Copies of this chain bind each other. A is one copy, B any other.
Amino acid sequence: MIVQQRLTLSTQGRGTYDITAQVEAVVRGAGIAAGLCHVFCHHTSASLILCENADPTVRRDLEGFLARLIPDGDRGFDHTDEGPDDMPAHVRAILTKMDLTLPVTGGHCALGTWQGVYLYEHRTRAHQRQVTVTVSGD
């Protein structure tokens, strides 16, 4: 069986947004006991990560790391049509990936205790982002 739902998510610019509850709601609604939950971000400057969900410092440190690794305005980048965060956003999204697959067990997302699902907005300005959740299984 397949249950598929499109989520429209608003971001307020660069940073991580916890979407665990929204993903879990699709899984619970699907009535699928065991299988997979696939989450997909339909963009190339936002991505999906699993991250520690208890201490917000982890996500702040992660953001600091990526900002140092792929600096906005880096003169090595020629694709700057939409500003200094344009190309860094593409590189960040490719390194953190736009697709994520989770196991479904006992009718819910079988995440670890400290795992949360986050939409990662890599552009500095606010955006609307499309995410598709596909639940498959028995």
Contacts and interface: CB of A to CB of B under 8 A. Distances in A.
A62 B90 CA distance: 8
A127 interface: no
Chain A: interface residue count, which band?
A: 35 or more
A134 B36 contact: yes
18 contacts: A35-B136, A36-B134, A36-B136, A38-B103, A42-B111, A44-B50, A44-B51, A44-B58, A50-B94, A52-B90, A61-B79, A62-B90, A64-B77, A65-B91, A95-B96, A99-B102, A103-B134, A110-B132
Interface of A: 1-2, 4, 34-36, 38, 40-44, 49-52, 55, 57-58, 60-62, 64-65, 68-70, 76-79, 81, 87, 90-91, 94-103, 105, 110-115, 130, 132, 134, 136-138
